Amino acid sequence: MSPQRKLLLLGTFVHSKTQQHLEFLHNAAVAVDEQGKIAAIERDVAEASEAQARLLTQLGWDEAEVDVTVAAEGQFFFPGFVDTHIHAPQYANAGIFGKSSLLDWLETYTFPLESSLADLSKARRVYTRCVRRTLSHGTTTATYYATIDVAATNLLADLCLSMGQRAFVGRACMDNPDVNPDYYRDASAAETLRATQQTIDHMRSIDPGFDIVSPILTPRFAPSCSREAMAGLAQLHRETNLPIQTHISENLGEIQLVKSMFPEADSYAGVYDKYGLLTPKTVLAHAVHISEEEAELIAHRGSKVSHCPCSNTSLTSGPARVRWMWDRGIDVGLGTDMSGGYSPSILDAARQAALVSRHVAMGIHVPEGGGAAAVEQEKERERVKLTVEEALYLATRGGARCVGLEDKIGGFEVGMEWDAQLVSLSQVSDDGGMEEHDHGHGLVDVFGWESWGDRLAKWLYNGDDRNTKRVWVKGRLVHKRK
C-alpha cells in the first residue's frame, strides 16, 4: 500500500468506555500517524483549534504534512463497526428468504446462489457491491464466509484489500456428501484442506502480515463437515494460529441433526471441542439454544460468540440471550449473518440486538399476583434488556474482542489504529420544513434540545448509511459521501 499522510481529526469523539458506558470527548483532537495508528489524543480543550496546535507541537509534526478533518457542530467520530459474521456471496439474496428456516433456506436460496459464484465475473459483481455497501454502513472489519470456490474466495480477499476493508476471509469448507448437495461440496477432506491452503497462500502473497486481510479457517457447520475435515482444520489452526469461524446451535432441527450425526459427543459445542475447533480464536455464530454446559465449555475454552439477531428472527431460529452469555463470561460481538439476516448493516444489527433482548425479556414469565418470585422475575426482565450503550458496545469493542483485535480497534486510545466513521445527524430547520437537499441527510432528526445520549439513541434507532459521511480503516479513507 502506498504511504499515507498523517491525519488530524478534530471535534467530538464518542466510543465505549465500558460495556455500559459511552464516553464523549468534546473539543478533542486525535492525531494519526502514517501507519494509521493513533499517535496522540488531546481532550477537553476550550477549542478544537487549540487542541490542534498543542498536538502538532507535542508530536513535532508540521501542519503541511497533515490532513485535517473537522467534525462540524453536531457531528461526531465513532469507531468503525465490526461485523463478526457475514456471508459475502449471499449479498445478492438480501431480503429473500420467504417463510423458510435454516435447513430449507440453505437448500432453496443459499446453496444455488453460492455455487453460481464460481463464475468469477458474477462473483466480482456481487462481492464488489457487498464490500462497497458494508463500507458505506461503517463496517471497517468484516468476518466473511465466502464460498467453496478458491478463485472466488481469493477474489474476495483481493477486493477487500483494494477497497481497504479489514477482513477475515474464509473459504467455506463442506465435504460431507450426506448433507451437502452434489453440485456444491468438497470432494473429500483432503480437498477441503488443500483448497483452504490455497486461499491462505494467496492471502499471504497479497498481504504478508495479514494486516488488512487475513484467512480464517471455516468449517461451515458440523453437519457439513467430515470428522477428518474438522480435525484437519484444527491441526492447521495449531500450526498457523489462524482464527476459526463456524456456526453453532442456530436452529432446533439443526441441533437434532448434529445429535444424530455425532453420537460420540455430548453436545453441539462438544463436537467442535472433540475435533479441536473450540479455541480462543474461534468465533461461533448464533449460539441461540446452547445449554448451561455448552456455555461453560465455550467460556472455558475462551471461544467467542457472534450474535446475529436479525438472522435469528428472520429464519425463526430463536432469540439468543446476550445477557445470559455475558453472565457466563462469554465475549459477544454482532453479526449481520446476511442473508440469513436481511441487512448488511451492523447499525441495524445493533438495533435488532436491542429489540431481540426485549423479546427475551417478554419471554420471562412473571407469576401473577405478586410475591417475591414475581418481583425477582420482573427485575430479571429489566436486566436482560440491552441499552443503547450496550448495543453500540457490541457493534464496536465487543466485535473487536470477538475477532481478537481488541488492542487494535473498537475505541480511541493511543496506539490503536484509526478504524472510524464520521457520523452526521440531520438538523431540523426552524420551520420544520424539508428541502430537496435534506433527503440525503438521513432520517435522524435532531431538534437541538437533545442531550448527547439522546442523539446516540436517535442514531441507533433511526440511523442508516446516510449518517456515515466518512469511513477510515487503518488511517486510510475508504468511503465518503456528501
- The one among 458, 470, 474, 476 contacting a second copy by CB under 8 A: 458
**Residue 340 near a second copy by CB under 8 A:** no
Whichever of 174 and 356 has its CB closer to a second copy, that residue is 356
- The one among 11, 36, 164, 319 contacting a second copy by CB under 8 A: 319
User: Shortest approach of a second copy to residue 108 CB, angstroms?
Assistant: 12
Strands 213-215, 166-170: pairing kind: parallel
Alpha-carbon distance of 205 to 469, in angstroms, equals 33
Q: Which of 275, 282, 323 is nearest to 306 (CA)?
A: 282
Q: Which of 261, 197, 264, 283 is nearest to 233 (CA)?
A: 197
Q: 3-state class of 296 per DSSP?
A: helix
DSSP letter assigned to residue 428: P
Q: Per-residue contact track with a second copy, 50 to 89, x per CB under 8 A? A: ----------------------------------------
The three grid cell numbers given for residue 426, joined into one nine-digit string? 440531520
**Residue 428 near a second copy by CB under 8 A:** yes
Concatenate the DSSP letters of all residues of 176-243 into one string: -TTTS-TTSS-SSHHHHHHHHHHHHHHHHHH-TT-SSEEE-B-B--GGGS-HHHHHHHHHHHHHH---
Binding segment (CB under 8 A) for a second copy, from list 170-178, 232-240, 298-306, 450-458: 450-458
**Residue 259 near a second copy by CB under 8 A:** no
User: Across the strands, what pairs with 86?
Assistant: 144
- The one among 129, 227, 301, 328 contacting a second copy by CB under 8 A: 129
**Residue 289 near a second copy by CB under 8 A:** no
What is the H or E stretch that residue 379 is in?
helix 372-384
**Residue 35 near a second copy by CB under 8 A:** no
Whichever of 296 and 438 has its CB closer to a second copy, that residue is 438
The three grid cell numbers given for residue 143, joined into one nine-digit string? 468476518
What's the maximum distance between 2 C-alpha atoms anywhere in the chain? 71
**Residue 30 near a second copy by CB under 8 A:** no
- What are the angstrom distances between the C-alpha of 358 and each of 56, 281, 287, 364? 47, 30, 18, 10
**Residue 133 near a second copy by CB under 8 A:** yes
Q: Per-residue contact track with a second copy, 344 to 383, x per CB under 8 A? A: -x---------x--xx-xxx--x--------------xx-
**Residue 342 near a second copy by CB under 8 A:** yes
By CB under 8 A, name the binding residues for a second copy: 91-92, 94-99, 124-129, 132-133, 136, 252, 313-314, 316-319, 342-343, 345, 355, 358-359, 361-363, 366, 381-382, 385, 387-388, 428, 430-434, 436, 439-440, 443-445, 447, 450, 454, 457-462, 464-466, 481-482
